Amino acid sequence: MTFNSKGLEEAFNLVDKGIKEGVFPCAAVAVGSKEGVLKVDIKGNKRIYPYVEKLNRTSLFDLASLTKVVATTMLLMRMIEKGLISVYDRVTEYLPSFDKDGKDKITVFQLITHTSGLPAFFPFYEKCKGYEDAINYICEEINIREVREVEYSDLNFILLGKILETIGEERLDKLCQKEVFEPLGMKETLFNPKKEDVAPTEKDKDTGEIICGVCHDENARFFGGISGHAGLFSTIDDLVKFADMLVNYGKIEDEIFLSYPLFKRMITNYTENLGESRGWGWAIKGNTSAGGDLFTERAFGHTGFTGTSLWVDPEYGIYVILLTNRVHPTRENVKIIRFRRLFHNAVLAALNWGNY
């Protein structure tokens, strides 16, 4: 797949416009195809408060909910292939106390398609003593609702992370490092970064300090920076490696990272009539506005609260990565929602029509 170079340049110029209009202070952007990355650009200042600091190509971004697909979903897929877990296993097989008020019927499939009936959010950092206490609280105190439609829920992936830790007998960060990041050559992707070159996020309402180098998500931060729903940091070049694998249906060069049968099941739309299109972990374009107007119905992707996103269209064989810290210095800035659609539309419009 090739792009019209002028059209792609115009799409990337929208990022400059976004910075100028205050959509985000900086962005690391990449567009690629099955043949590899086509264009990467680094724009803006990673920090604008209380002083200005330029974004670098090596700067880490807080991926927020991209953690769900880059880390947790991938680890689950690897464990499925090893025969360690099935998506139709019940949660109680791994967390026996998750058995009250109908929760005993909930499966891993319902967690990863956001059809479990668990609520979208709960402030564990206000009610619990720590990570294990929060898991117990979900199992014993939080009730499920009748499932009428998809309800995107952090709790689904907090539980899934714990299930994978139970199977792997290690914390999620170590399991993902061994099973996902190392095989893909993602050397800069990790929980709890030590390096200083990190794009800051929000001004902490309690301390007045800018959050930088620790995860923005309050629950994940409360869990020690490691959770199935948030906490992962990465660079644009590492996510290009990840997207290269996705656009090639699980292959990295001549190596198979995920098998073709599993990959096909992962990006199938299982919730077509439930208000939102969901695969295993991934959002599916379907007929929703997610990802913009021009991706095909088979496109899949995910976003992160901090201003990150990754979309892959298997029909056109392309991917688009947009990493920003739109919550710096405040989460009240929600212009990114519309910007993503406009940017993705401009990228897709730059495809050379004679190649598909």
- Answer yes or no: CATH 3.40.710.10 is held by domain 5-355: yes
282 and 301 in contact (C-beta within 8 Å)? yes
290 and 150 in contact (C-beta within 8 Å)? no
At residue 191, the pLDDT reads 98
1 and 355 in contact (C-beta within 8 Å)? yes
Q: Which residues contact residue 293 at a Cβ distance below 8 angstroms, ignoring those fewer than 6 apart?
A: 341, 345
At residue 355, the pLDDT reads 53
Side chain identity at 49, as an amino acid letter? Y
- Tokens matching residue 238: 């590492």
Tell how strand 255-256 and strand 283-284 pair up: unpaired
What is the CB-side half-sphere exposure of residue 48 using CA atoms within 13 A? 16
At residue 353, the pLDDT reads 75
pTM of the shown model: 0.98
Residue among 145, 70, 79 nearest 108 (CA): 79
The sign of the CA dihedral 291, 292, 294, 297 is: positive
At residue 210, the pLDDT reads 97
153 and 114 in contact (C-beta within 8 Å)? yes
Side chain identity at 279, as an amino acid letter? G
Distance of alpha carbon 30 from alpha carbon 110, whole angstroms: 32
Query: Tokens 């490696």, residue?
Result: 241
Residue 6 DSSP SS3: helix
Split the chain (356 residues) into runs of 10 and give each run's mean pLDDT.
Answer: 93 98 98 97 97 98 99 99 98 97 96 98 98 98 96 98 98 98 98 97 94 97 98 98 98 95 98 96 92 96 98 97 98 97 98 72
42 and 28 in contact (C-beta within 8 Å)? yes
- The residue extents of the domains of the chain are 5-355
Residue among 169, 159, 63 nearest 118 (CA): 159
Distance of alpha carbon 10 from alpha carbon 331, whole angstroms: 28
DSSP 8-state code for residue 107: B
What is the CB-side half-sphere exposure of residue 258 using CA atoms within 13 A? 27
204 and 135 in contact (C-beta within 8 Å)? no
Rounded (5°) CA angle 180-181-182: 100
Residues in the chain: 356
